Amino acid sequence: MALAEAGARGRLLRWPRVLLFGDSITEYSFQESGWGTYLAERLVRKCDVVNRGISGYNTRWAKLILPRLIPESTSADSIVAVTIFFGANDSALKELNPKQHVPLEEYAANLKSMVQYLKSVDISADRIILITPPPLQEAAWEKACLAKGDKLNRSNATTGQYAQACVQVARECGTDVLDLWTLMQKNQDFSSYLSDGLHLSTKGNSFLAAQLWSRLENKLSALPSLLPYWRDVDHTNPEASLL
């Protein structure tokens, strides 16, 4: 059978998608032992995990590009989950990092705007997970800043205010939320979760992956495996199994 004929006979295969939208902590999530890699491994044959992390971005910039990532023409059914993971840059101190800083009230408004946009394109609240920024280990991050010729430009207390705002937005919008800032500090020495005081270490990636999977597993457990297991393919008539 010609490939064109096979394609015409078979239904178009569309993998559902999980979209990870965030800053560098999301962008780096597909590195070895990253939390995005963990999700992709567990969802292979069920859906695609799409990394749309953009290093250095804040919610002011993110809300502008979200409609370009998920346009109104997108089939809402094809997106089974979206994570929105910003705040590590928004919470930078204005006087020391004005380019990335976003005021607290605007940060909350931007998150709310992104959730409302997703709802407007028929991605329901139960498919949206907000993730707060993780805690900041100031001594380690100051060392990283000094190595670049900068001063310490973030504080854990300020980051916590942004985390609380994120939790409040989720409550108001009816979405799930993963409060990393609080959960990681239940371990007194949370520095082990961070590689440089800001970004996640291997342990931090594993922690986030486990926390996120506990929320996604129930949402995605009903997704079928795409295409039959190889032992179940009729080798005498593969078209009957695969088209």
Q: Which positions are catalytic?
A: 24, 196, 199
Helix (H, G, I), strand (E, B) or coil at 82: strand
Are 191 and 204 spatial neighbours (Cβ–Cβ below 8 Å)?
no
Measured between alpha carbons, how far apart are the two ends of the chain, in Å?
Answer: 12
Are 161 and 106 spatial neighbours (Cβ–Cβ below 8 Å)?
no
- The residue to which tokens 């998150």 are assigned: 111
In 17-125, which residue ranges form alpha helices assigned H by DSSP? 24-27, 35-43, 59-69, 104-120
CA angle 221, 169, 83 (to 5 degrees): 35
In 97-189, which residue ranges form alpha helices assigned H by DSSP? 104-120, 138-147, 156-173, 180-184
